[in-house]
Structure 1
C-alpha cells in the first residue's frame, strides 16, 4: 500500500526517528515515514493499546463532532461509516485497522512512557521510564491534547462509596441502567452521555456549573445502499471529503475567527434550538450568559429532548462536597446516588509533559514554556533541533478536522526532514526571531476571535489567553504548504 507520491529514496534512509504516541497523529507519522523510505522508526506508546483518545474514551453516546467522511486519513477512505458523525468505537476500529493494514501496529512499543529526551552532541538521547537510553536523530511528538483527565476539586470526592470514575476512564463493570447516576459537568462529553442514558437510568442528576450553547445537528444513519455506492465508486468518497471539508471550513470555522455573518447564523440556530425547551425555568437554567462559540460549541439534536425527561434533574446549585452516598449542594440538599461520573475534561495544555525535554545547551522545554506554550507554526521550537510536534501549541484544534490538520502539519515537517535526509543539514530548528514574530501575529489576530468574548473554557491557557489558531483555514493551508527557510537555522 502506498500513501506517498513516487519519490527517490532518501540519501540518509538510516535516520533514526522516535515517534512518541500511537494515537491518530502517531499512526500517521509512522506510516508516512515508512512510505518515504525510512526504516528506523520507533513508535513509543505509554498505554497497552494504540488509538489515543478513541482508545481511552468508551462512555455511552461517544461520537465525533466532525463528519465521518472528513474525519479520516486522506490515504485511507472508509466507505463503511454507519452515521454522519461516527460513534467512538468505529473510529477506534478504523485507526486500529489502518495501523494493522500498514504494518504499524506490530511495531509499536506499548507500555513504554518516555521520561526524558535530551539533545546532546548532535543526537537525541531518549530514555523510557525505567528503561535504557536510546539514540535518535529526529524526535516527533504525537502525544495528543485530550489525554490526561482532570477530576473536579471537590471536598470528599474519594469518600463516595459507590462506583466513581472519570468519563474518560469509564468503568463498564458497573451498569447504570435503573440506577441513580450523578454526572458532574455539562460539556460535550456530559451532553453525549445524558442523551445516551437518560431514558434508561432510574434518575440522572446532571450537575451544571455553566450552561452551554447547543447547535442542533442531526446525526442520521448512513444506509447500506449509500455505503455500497461508496464502495463501488471511491471517487465519490473523495468528492464527499472535499464537499464536507469546504462546508466545515467556510461556515463554523469562519464564524469563530471573526466572520460575523456566519457567527450570527450559528447564534440564531442555537437560540431557536434552546426555545424548544418547554419549561421556562429549565430553559432559564440552560441559557448561557456568554457569546455563542466562546466555549467549544456543543452539537446535539437530542440533548434538550432528553434533559426534559422526568428521570433527569438539572442541578445548578454549587456542589459543596461529596459524601459517601451522594452529592451535597450548597442549599444543604443531599442528592443520593448509586454511581458518580466526572465529565470534567482534560489537562489540554500539557502536550508531551511530564516528559522532560532538554534542548541545546541544557535549555529545557519547561523553561522555554515557563510563561506560555509557544512554537513556530505549531510544529517546532527554537533551541530544540530536529524536534517536531504534531498538534503542537496553537494548532487549530477547535474548528477543523484534527486528522486533516495533522496531515498538513506532517507534510510541513517532512519538508524539513528532507533537508536532513538529503544531507543539506544535520540540524534544523526555527529561529527565535521567526518564532517571536509568528506568536506576536497570533496575539494580534486573537482579538478578532470569539474566544476573547469573556467566557472561561479549556481553550484558554494558564494566563487566560486562547491557545488556538486565530485565522481561517486558508491561512493554515498557506502556512503549511512549505517552510520559509529564512525562518530556520540549518547547520550543515
Structure 2
C-alpha cells in the first residue's frame, strides 16, 4: 500500500477556549454564570445533558412532584418571582422559573443543552482543564465549575429476576409518561421523598397499589395552599415586600439550629407533629405502629405531605412493611415469600447521592478521579474547593448544605464566592490556584466537632447523609448568617497561588 492510498484520519477539532466552563444548568450553574457576568467575566460556557434548563427540575417530572421548601425560600434572592401559584411550588413552575431567570439575565446563549460531559481532566502542562463531551466536542477552560448538584442520576436497583418481568418497570426519576397506569396493579418500591409525592398522585387511577416500605420515614404536615392573588399583586407592585418576606423567613429559621444539635430537644419538638400526621389519616393501631419511625427526625431527610398517609389508608392500597426479595415474570415477592401479581413496578429508590456520576468523570492533578481520591469519604473546603483539583470549584459539594435554608440559598451564596474568587484570579493574572491541604483539613475538623452533636450518626440511623465511614458529608452545621459571611469574603491566603 502506497502512502497516498492510506486512509487519512480526520483531525480532532481544536478545543474551544473559555475562561470558565460550568457543568450543569440548574440553580447552581445559572447563579454562577449570572454572578460572573455581573463582574465582567463573560467568556463562560454551561454544559448540561438535559433538553431544557432547570437541572434536577428539568430531569425529574413525575406526577405530584413539587418542592418541599416554601416557594419564597426556594428561589434566588436576586431573581424574585411574584407569580408562584402555591406556597410550595410544583415542578413545572420551578423549571419555568429557572428558564425565565436564564432569559432575564441574558445567559441563554452561554448554555449548551443535550450535551453530556464524559471527561474533564487537569492538564498540568497547559495548566488548564480539558473537557470533552459524548458528541466529540472539546473545550479548554482556565476554571472548571462543577454544578451538577446531588440529585440527578436516578439510582436504578437490580433485583433477582428483574429482567424476566413481563410488565413495565421504570424509576420515578425517569418517569414513563407514555405508559397509562389506569386500572393497573402497581408495585411501588420505596417510601422516600419521591414516593410520598407520586404514590398519592397515581393512587386514584390504579386498580391496586402495593407499597413496599422497609424503613418508614418521618412525614410532617405541609402548609401547602394556593397563593392568594392579592399577595402576588402586592409582590409585583412592591418588590421590597417580597424580599422582606423571604429574608424574614430565612432569619426566622436560624433559631432552629440549636434544636438540631440536641437530640432530646429535637425529638420532643418534632416527633409529636409527625405522630399527629399519622394519626389523622391512619385509624388502625397496628398500621400506625408500623408507620412510626424508630429514628430521630432529621437523621434521614425530613419529608412533608398531607396526602401520603391518606393515600396509604385507601382500600386499593396495601402496605408491605418488608423488603423486596425478588421479581418474577408476573409479580414481586416480599422477604417473607409472599408474591403480589402486578402489571407495573415503579422504583422510588432515590438517587446516586453518595456517588454522583460527575465524581467518576473529573480527574485532578495526579490523574485520579474524585471517586478515587475520596474513596467514599468526600471532603472539601466550604463545600467548593478540593485539594488536588486546582482551578476548580464544586457547587453543592461535601458539607455545603445548612440546616435552615434551601438549596437555592446555598447555590446563590456559593455563586457569590466563586465569582469573586474567579474575578480575583482574573485581575491578579493568577495561573493556578489550589486550596491548601491544611486549610481543607482544618475546616473539616472544626465542623466534625459540631456534627458529633447532631442526630445524623450511624448509631442513630442509616441515611444518605452518611458517607462510607459513617460521617455526615451533607450538612454544614453553622448559622446561615455565619455561612453567608464566609462565602461573601474570599481569602486568597487559603490557597496556594501561582
Q: Is the 8 A contact 1:113 1:129 kept in 2?
A: yes
Q: Is the 8 A contact 1:317 1:330 kept in 2?
A: yes
1:292 corresponds to which residue?
A: 297
Q: Deviations over 1:3-44 (max 9, x none)?
A: xxxxxxxxxxx9711011111211111222222212211111
Q: Is the 8 A contact 1:363 1:383 kept in 2?
A: no
1:268-283 mapped onto 2 (5 Å cutoff): 268-276=272-280, 277-283=282-288
1:457 corresponds to which residue?
A: 463
Instruction: Return closer, same or farther for 1:288/1:259 CA change in 2, 3 Å cut-off.
Output: closer
Q: Give the Cα separation in 2 of the matches to 1:15 and 1:173.
A: 40
1:255 aligns with 2:262: no
1:379 aligns with 2:413: no
1:172-187 mapped onto 2 (5 Å cutoff): 172-187=177-192
1:222 aligns with 2:262: no
Q: Give the Cα separation in 1 of the matches to 2:379 and 2:360.
A: 17
Q: Over aligned residue pairs, what C-alpha RMSD do you find?
A: 2.1
Q: Deviations over 1:334-365 (max 9, x none)?
A: 21212211000011023462553333354543
Larger deviation, residues 63-72 vs 101-110? 101-110
Give 1:475 deviation, angstroms: 3.4
Q: Secondary structure at the match of 2:409?
A: helix
Q: Secondary structure at the match of 1:435?
A: helix
Give 1:425 deviation, angstroms: 2.6
2:73 corresponds to which residue?
A: 70
1:474 corresponds to which residue?
A: 481
1:57 corresponds to which residue?
A: 60
Larger deviation, residues 285-294 vs 109-118? 109-118
Q: Give the Cα separation in 2 of the matches to 1:228 and 1:372.
A: 48
Give 1:265 deviation, angstroms: 1.4
Q: Give the Cα separation in 2 of the matches to 1:114 and 1:470.
A: 32
Q: TM-score, normalised by structure 2?
A: 0.90
1:47 aligns with 2:50: yes
1:100 aligns with 2:106: no
1:347 aligns with 2:366: no
1:90 aligns with 2:97: no
Q: Is the 8 A contact 1:321 1:328 kept in 2?
A: yes
Q: Give the Cα separation in 1 of the matches to 2:32 and 2:485.
A: 21
Q: Secondary structure at the match of 2:354?
A: coil
Q: Is the 8 A contact 1:115 1:354 kept in 2?
A: no
Q: Give the Cα separation in 2 of the matches to 1:286 and 1:400.
A: 28
Give 1:333 deviation, angstroms: 2.2
1:114 aligns with 2:117: yes
Give 1:110 deviation, angstroms: 2.1
1:128 corresponds to which residue?
A: 133
Q: Secondary structure at the match of 2:253?
A: helix
Q: Paired residue for 1:408, among 409, 413, 426?
A: 413
Q: Give the Cα separation in 1 of the matches to 2:311 and 2:489.
A: 48
Structure 2: gaps spanning 5 or more residues: 1-16
Give 1:488 deviation, angstroms: 1.5
Give 1:399 deviation, angstroms: 5.0
Q: Give the Cα separation in 2 of the matches to 1:490 and 1:317.
A: 54
Q: Paired residue for 1:490, among 469, 482, 497?
A: 497
Q: TM-score, normalised by structure 1?
A: 0.91
Q: Is the 8 A contact 1:15 1:38 kept in 2?
A: no
Give 1:160 deviation, angstroms: 2.1
